[in-house]
Amino acid sequence: MGVGDTGSLHHTCWVVNDLEQTAQSLADSLSIQWGVWTIEPAGCTVHGEDRPYTFRLAVARVGDSNMELIEPLEGLSVYVEHLQSKGEGFHHTCIIYPTLEAMRTARDELASQGREMIQSGDLGEAGEFYYFHMPEQDAALEVLYLSELPPPEMTIG
């Protein structure tokens, strides 16, 4: 079974310094609406070490997929590392899976290929996510399972 089996493209993500300003600018330019959430994973790893971090994310539906913006809040995360080393810009592509088991199978397949897991987050009942470094793209790939997101804290656009 490959990583994409039973998964589908969910979003592409850009890491930004000011989520609200960037979301408003893109909403005005592209006529899209963003939902905004603050994420505080119950369990977190960064480069294999337990490290707490929090972030805000904004998601906008575009056709059959989504665009995502992430602004790091607290803790050292791959988002902070990206802003420090590359500045604002494209960070990752996400494949979402319909079940937790399918996502974990994809995660395990990437690990068995020797891919480096650079970050993970446990969202409790809401789901789990894992980022892997993909040197072919000089970017990350996220594998994600979400049961359901609560309503957004705010909308922009």
Residue 77 lies in a domain: yes
pLDDT for residue 1: 57
Range of the domain at 23: 8-148
Helix (H, G, I), strand (E, B) or coil at 95: strand
Residue 153 lies in a domain: no
CA 69 to chain centre: 9
Q: What is each CA distance from 76 to 55, 110, 141, in whole angstroms?
A: 11, 24, 19
Residue 133 lies in a domain: yes
| pLDDT above 70 as % of the chain | 97
CATH number of the domain where residue 112 is located: 3.10.180.10
Residue 85 lies in a domain: yes
| pLDDT above 90 as % of the chain | 91
Residue 76 lies in a domain: yes
Residue 92 has pLDDT above 90, yes or no: yes
Residue 109 lies in a domain: yes
Number of domains in the chain: 1
